[in-house]
Structure 1
């Protein structure tokens, strides 16, 4: 692991830790995003509306138009109770506050009239008393709200039993409640709070508490009391956590067990608002009688009395994005319990989501820093898709609420942060290497440099290299007869075609020197079998120049050909960045480079296009090689043994080359002994060489004039080995 990678890991894991802590603290933006995600699930798959014995008697605009503005006198409320009881309502729950005396009561109206007879005042009807008498003995549930003033607590109409530890501290706390008129409180069959989302800043009602608490007593909500009264139940059975106080898990009322959050809330699984849920109050109070449809809707139903009139400001927003009367949400709570379609968010969901953020973050950091940002992104997208699918399936199949939003967002932040770090810091060295070496190396070799630790040490290292020089023959004559632009076009065509073989064989292009190419192998990283790869590149250049000449790629016309000479040598050289601090090149210097350059020049003397030193051909057993003698190279005190590269192993295995190799050995013996029979052997060698791909006619045409090159003591065993191989395969005669 490099220091840059270590820094990237530390930064990435630190970011993951911060994001995990942020998710664990659950700030409001994350909660709102999570709840919006759950809203979207409900919009995709809302609870289907089913005809349930639950109705809303709506004091709508038509009712206000017929019976007068709000508030209605409570004697009309009494008439409504009487009518609903007559129609067979199982429970009548008022989502209306009755905290103040009825100001429309006759007794209240005339109380302040000067000189009124107190006896007459006592004989006038009181609407509150009328309403109280009407609800006595009937399944009527009255509502109350939360107040910050006073110390009123509503009267409990049912008992509460616990299993497990006490959950009294679980629900939202209240300081006080809006008081009910005493006579109404005394005669009501049930009393419940009407607060749908107390303490929440959002207008969307997603979960509503089934109880409120003052720290000592639990107080049920309106819908819960309506279900209790409708079933004739007298007690709530609340399940708490077995080993921890202040946790609520479920509420049993009559025949129904309701799963709740730890705070005693019911997640609302709403259905679209439907007209079938509502009955207009004017239809119930119709003076000419109730229609059969209205009677059928009320009979046996839990009835909630409330208002949808816009001016009364009891409009709420559901998870489906609909604006509905608040009273309809109480009705939907009962519908949800009766249908058994619940939503729940397990207590361990938070822990699972926090752990998923940590694990996903760690995985993305490791993949981004050590593998590839693209692979990390692909894995992140795959995990994101799985998280979305799993979250959706949990919702649609089991009603479970798991948040895919936070892990996805925080995983995205982690990925882009670590990717940016890698691009800016970790990959800086690789980008520098790619800029410096991209024009010299093959992509595969460049990849090895980038991904091998300490593979590149700049500044000058002694390494064994195989060095190649390539030069165009008679370039001066070519350039004299061409205009400068044509010369440039010719060089571009030639050098581009030839240099491709260097990079294709894992070589490094050092430089272009006019019409020449310098290249080397085994730097800046190790290249296995580098002498063979250099010679293969030279053979490919031979084929390429022949193809270019045949197709007249240079535009010289028929009969005009371009020839090249290639010199190859293997030896130790110093390789590294060389030049000034402001401008330098990656290059090699040393005796091995000089020898390779001199061997390329010797191609003219030998009249052959590819020559390699003994140091190079020692690594080429079984190749088609011919001894070209020991030459005096400029600057060298001793002769250097060189070899003509005829072809690769396939050429060497051909019968023609085997016979030529045998003849070549005999020719060298004849030249060494100054035998006059060497001319016949040269003629035979020329004839045999005609069937081989390399042009050896000029090579053998000049060899007799180079007899001195073969008089020096032969170093190495290349000729003897080649001759022995031919003797073994084809005998001593030709």
Structure 2
């Protein structure tokens, strides 16, 4: 987000990531551009640099004649005349000390063509697609500038924010006039010393001159002109547009109607896409030793029709640049990359709306990670952070590779890393607080003393789902619909609050039960989780018996206050259940599920059928044998095929007196008579029990059942099971 957030660290990281994108981009060889390399081997074979210009002339003649290249760009400036041939010395002798030697002057004059190295080079490049290079300078002006691409008059009042140079070091007049063109190869590095962009056009005085890469492409295409793309007249432009310094594109006019456009950015510069790793082994461009071209040993298939750049990779000649992909990158290959981008019209660029995209990524990543990291465990947080960082980099790389967009991503990567570190620090510094919060949440379900026990070892307790043997309880108020219709809202609230408070206390505080939920007037609870009790069934039975006593006490109080009678039914069952934090994304609760839970609910519903306040399954009776039970029936509840025996817990077995034990024995005998279809004996036994206990609805129910079965015999295959078709 350069230009808005000037943080050196962020900018350096953006630069690193930008280079990383180039380094991971697969290298694709481009045969259109070849580098004729004045390498170390060529210096050994031909001689030290700079070479005499007759050698350079032979090099040009070989490339244009023998090898048929499309264009030649020299990453070299010839700013001084070449006097290495000694011809000037000979001329001086002919005019001075040796002027009287017969024929000497004529012989010297005859050597002029062979020893005028500048003339040889000028002759070699004249009429050939050769582009000379030159540099700009802030202080001196030397040599002859080429013809400019355009001047201020062409802009007709428009602003063009090209980099301005006061001076230059150009080629000699003879060579400049002979060449097809010339281009600037000066480099503008970033403050960190890395070369990332290059000016495509530079202003000198009132005129504008192309870079070496742009001039070479223009010559290779036989271009008529290189001009900025002006799609509006000055009159049609807003004041802001008139003063805007960066045109989006340049156009190269070549052929009869063809125009090639390529994008530019600030200061008419272009981002350099480094397509290889640099040098002869970099992979993007072919390197041919200059000595091989001179000797004719170069491969014609490599050079034929190619755009050739003449430069050097030899150590000591000092034409190496620090770039994002290589700290010692040949300067000549920089121009090759720019030429490839111009030919492909594929410049990496920072779009005008880049800041909006970057801010959008920041906001999206920040929102998602802020929420997700706070909810996920450490390993999942690490995975999400790595995935988010990879996704951001992958997205930006896709935009870079497919749309040529260069977006800054350091701020986003730092945000992702920062949120992760902050989340981990929060978890580390406030781990105890989080554990206590978990235990406190269980405090909604279990008694305070159990919460204290859980706080001693909070890692042992969680709300993850598991299967465990538990005992579940359901309690409901008989006739609550009628009760609610007969009370005012205020009285109903007081009625239900007193009832629920008493039931909750008997469950949670007295015997360590876990309150599951309130369902209107019904209460659901279970024992054995989150704190595991081996005697969960006994605790549940004890709580149920206490709840009946509490209901009787409340009933007396309600009746005394003129409130409706309170009667409850309780169902208990023991078995394997799924327990844990269950629900939806909207709401969750620590609860139990399973067939054993469903049976407990059915038992609560059928207590009214048998005229009892409490019914338990046979698994509960087996798990809590310390209580006295009265068997109620063999039943097949809705949703289950197998019959189960159900019982009514009465009191602790140790408290059962002789009379109760005798009654239970008589009842067991009567129940056996019913199941054996001995109707007369069963009716007599049941009548005796009903007379002794006139308030028992169970005995009256069986008397009615025996009368019905006597009148409608069930058959010899009757199993004695009562089937319930409703819940």
Q: Deviations over 1:174-201 (max 9, x none)?
A: 3432243333333332111113x41324
SS at match of 1:285: helix
| 1:648 matched residue in structure 2 | 616
Q: Distance in 1 between matches of 2:88 and 2:667?
A: 136
* Matching residue within 227, 234, 248 for 1:237: 227
* Matching residue within 302, 307, 310 for 1:305: 310
| 1:252 matched residue in structure 2 | 251
Query: Is 2:440 the counterpart of 1:431?
Result: no
Q: After TM superposition, give the deviation of residue 390 of structure 1 in Å.
A: 2.8
Q: Distance in 2 between matches of 1:645 and 1:61?
A: 105
Aligned ranges for residues 131-170 of structure 1 at < 5 Å? 131-150=121-140, 155-160=145-150, 166=158, 168-169=160-161
CA contact (8 A) 1:661 1:726 kept: no
Structure 2, unaligned runs of 5 or more: 100-104, 441-447, 464-499, 556-565, 573-611, 622-628, 636-644, 651-656, 672-691, 708-727
SS at match of 2:128: coil
Q: Deviations over 1:423-460 (max 9, x none)?
A: 64698376367389362589999989xxxxxxxxxxxx
Q: TM-score, normalised by structure 1?
A: 0.58
CA contact (8 A) 2:251 2:261 kept: yes
* Matching residue within 288, 293, 302 for 1:284: 293
With 401-410 and 350-359 compared, the bigger mean Cα shift is at 401-410
Q: Distance in 1 between matches of 2:2 and 2:703?
A: 84
Query: Is 2:202 the counterpart of 1:222?
Result: no
Change (3 A) 1:615 1:183: farther
Query: Is 2:706 the counterpart of 1:727?
Result: no
Q: Distance in 1 between matches of 2:155 and 2:88?
A: 49
CA contact (8 A) 2:274 2:325 kept: no
Change (3 A) 1:146 1:165: same
Q: Distance in 2 between matches of 1:70 and 1:274?
A: 19
Q: Deviations over 1:602-631 (max 9, x none)?
A: xxxxxxxx987734896741559xxxxxxx
* Matching residue within 8, 28, 46 for 1:67: 46
Q: After TM superposition, give the deviation of residue 569 of structure 1 in Å.
A: 9.8
Change (3 A) 1:351 1:118: farther
Change (3 A) 1:99 1:215: closer
CA contact (8 A) 1:90 1:303 kept: yes
Query: Is 2:612 the counterpart of 1:621?
Result: no
SS at match of 1:229: helix
Q: After TM superposition, give the deviation of residue 316 of structure 1 in Å.
A: 3.6
SS at match of 1:412: helix
Q: After TM superposition, give the deviation of residue 93 of structure 1 in Å.
A: 1.8
Q: Distance in 2 between matches of 1:332 and 1:261?
A: 17
Q: Distance in 1 between matches of 2:667 and 2:395?
A: 77
CA contact (8 A) 1:569 1:613 kept: no
CA contact (8 A) 1:94 1:141 kept: yes
Q: Deviations over 1:355-408 (max 9, x none)?
A: 311332234334556898888766655544433433343344444444554323
Q: Deviations over 1:114-171 (max 9, x none)?
A: x9569889977654455445434433221112323235696342533989995621x4
Query: Is 2:369 the counterpart of 1:364?
Result: yes
Query: Is 2:74 the counterpart of 1:97?
Result: no
Change (3 A) 1:721 1:356: farther
Q: After TM superposition, give the deviation of residue 225 of structure 1 in Å.
A: 0.8
Change (3 A) 1:44 1:164: farther
Aligned ranges for residues 320-399 of structure 1 at < 5 Å? 320-321=325-326, 323-338=328-343, 342-367=347-372, 382-399=387-404
Q: After TM superposition, give the deviation of residue 352 of structure 1 in Å.
A: 0.6
Q: Deviations over 1:192-224 (max 9, x none)?
A: 1113x4132456554433223358543211121
Aligned ranges for residues 471-550 of structure 1 at < 5 Å? 507=508, 519=511, 544=535
Q: Deviations over 1:532-559 (max 9, x none)?
A: 6679679x9998399xxxxxxxxxxxxx
Question: Alignment length, in residue pairs?
Answer: 537
Q: After TM superposition, give the deviation of residue 327 of structure 1 in Å.
A: 1.8
Q: Distance in 1 between matches of 2:311 and 2:534?
A: 95
Change (3 A) 1:90 1:684: closer
Q: Deviations over 1:24-59 (max 9, x none)?
A: 42545434433443444444443421432x332222
Change (3 A) 1:533 1:40: same
* Matching residue within 151, 161, 169 for 1:178: 169
CA contact (8 A) 2:189 2:196 kept: no
Q: Distance in 2 between matches of 1:402 and 1:23?
A: 13
* Matching residue within 175, 183, 186 for 1:192: 183
| 1:588 matched residue in structure 2 | none
Q: Deviations over 1:77-114 (max 9, x none)?
A: 2333344343334332211122334353526668999x
Q: Distance in 1 between matches of 2:704 and 2:98?
A: 152
| 2:667 matched residue in structure 1 | 688
SS at match of 1:312: coil
Q: Distance in 2 between matches of 1:392 and 1:50?
A: 22
CA contact (8 A) 2:631 2:647 kept: no
Q: Distance in 2 between matches of 1:141 and 1:44?
A: 33
Q: Distance in 1 between matches of 2:382 and 2:157?
A: 47
SS at match of 2:74: strand
Q: Distance in 2 between matches of 1:174 and 1:690?
A: 119
Q: Deviations over 1:249-289 (max 9, x none)?
A: 22222353323344430432514655772333223333xxx
Over aligned residue pairs, what C-alpha RMSD do you find?
A: 5.6
Query: Is 2:56 the counterpart of 1:77?
Result: yes
Q: Distance in 1 between matches of 2:521 and 2:77?
A: 94
CA contact (8 A) 1:466 1:616 kept: no
With 406-415 and 293-302 compared, the bigger mean Cα shift is at 293-302
Q: TM-score, normalised by structure 2?
A: 0.58
With 655-664 and 308-317 compared, the bigger mean Cα shift is at 655-664
Query: Is 2:2 the counterpart of 1:25?
Result: no
Q: Distance in 2 between matches of 1:129 and 1:172?
A: 34
Q: Distance in 2 between matches of 1:620 and 1:142?
A: 105
Q: Distance in 1 between matches of 2:544 and 2:201?
A: 92
